[in-house]
Structure 1
Amino acid sequence: MQQKVELARIRDFGEIISDTFSFIKQNFKPLIKYFFTFCGIFILGGVISASLLQLKMVGTMSSISSGTYNRQYRPSIFNFLGIEYVFTIVFALLGFTTMLVTILSYIALYKAKNSQIPTTEEMWGYIKYYFLRVLGTSILLNLLIGVALLFCVIPGLYLAPIFALVLPIMVMENASFNYSFNRSFLLIKENWWVTFGSLVVIWIIFYACMMVITIPATIINSMSLILHWSFSKPAAVITAILQHLCQIFTILPITTLCLCYFNLSESKDGTSLLDKINKMGTTNPDTNLPAEEY
């Protein structure tokens, strides 16, 4: 039987990436189960709103190209997007926040339960508790990153991995925003490149996985729109569905982010090693093996 991935330990760049896939492989079924259990409603809402948006754009482009639109019609951003776009953005924000909270809660509970799969009730308790905190923190951090990128790209790139650690700290340590914000700077000190490199590589893998699935559908959708193929509307709906189902790949970067946090935390604090020392001689290992007889 393959040994379970130990979350709280020091890792180098290669181990962070490899353990990301090992952890997901070992916990694939419960991760998928909880992903669709708690994020499914927002994925469904996103699919519906994105499909309506795609259909609206297909209809608008068709009417413009065929010359059948009203003479008073003036193409504008709102004509192309409208309320459907607003709902798409809202569901995307709520969906991504739920994904973040779900995966972070799973990993936090998995560690707290000594590598045991958390129950649905435990997951729901964590998600209810952290959802609004993570939502507000995500919006604030994205605004700060946006401002940093607006004025100069380099400060934005520098702050990105630091700000990314705020949410794992908040959930894993049940901490406030101020504590998590300050601790993220403390943890990443002298380890910025390892964290940045790990996140860049896993995001490249993430986008590669998404493109393999979505690019063919997007090409067909674009060609059907340009050439006025009869299945342009079904193609638009299929594209929206595939784009939202591909959000399941967000498990990859969130898991890597957690492993980066554990790596930095152990490098600074060594809490896992101290726990092992304190437990020596006080507990018996649970090996699921029968007791020895003499």
Structure 2
Amino acid sequence: MTRPSLGWALPAYAVLLYAFLYLPIGVILLFAFDAKAIPGLPLSEFTTAWFAASLGDDRLVGSLLTSLRLASIAALLSTALAMPAAMVLAWRPMRMKSLVLCLVLGPVVLPQLVLGLGLTVLFRVAPDLVGQPAIVLAHTTMTSSYATLMLYSRFLGFRRSYIEAAMNLGANEFVTFREVILPLVAPALVAVLMLAFTDAFGEFVVAWFLAGFTETLPIAIWTSMRQVISPKIYALSALVILVTLTISVSAQIWILGQSRRESEQ
């Protein structure tokens, strides 16, 4: 007696999983084109007026620009801090390395509510930093943790023979870093930079504790949701989603191309 084939189960599970993950995004994109002042099903008619209205809202655009600026600074700082830390962890002998890695992972596994509360108490000794500086420092602390771990795994698989060959040919440490190490780890750096930027851009809990009078886009959306969600929120969110997906896909294509060239070498 032959057993029934279950080859369809895994594809069906994958379809259901991705549908669950991307259905909220689809709803946002759908409601962004709803002509009603309070979006909902069924849709009355399609319109693009809310996109112009969202871009004309000074508060929303200002919070978006603030989030972009702070997330960019935090992503650059966390990547710059993570790279030398990952190189030391991967290439230098170190006692109790597992303990150090656990400490590096601390800000990631720590609940954001606890981290936000702790940082709020900490910044009481420097109240002038509350607002944008505090948000940048907090996001840098959070994102540099997994940025270090991601780059650490990349440096573990790095071929040290490339460095030795460059040094034997007369290159100093700076030239070796610029001409050998940096190009080979560039795909990992781009991935880390984008992940850090995305996480910092959408982070809400810690930013809410430290914002002061600063209003990031997640904070602006949350304060708007306390009453009635304006269609302008859906429209601006749809624009952010489309731009983010475009950048992510483009970066992924570039990373795959770089990895393919590295494997061919």
TM-score, normalized by length of structure 1?
Answer: 0.25
TM-score, normalized by length of structure 2?
Answer: 0.27
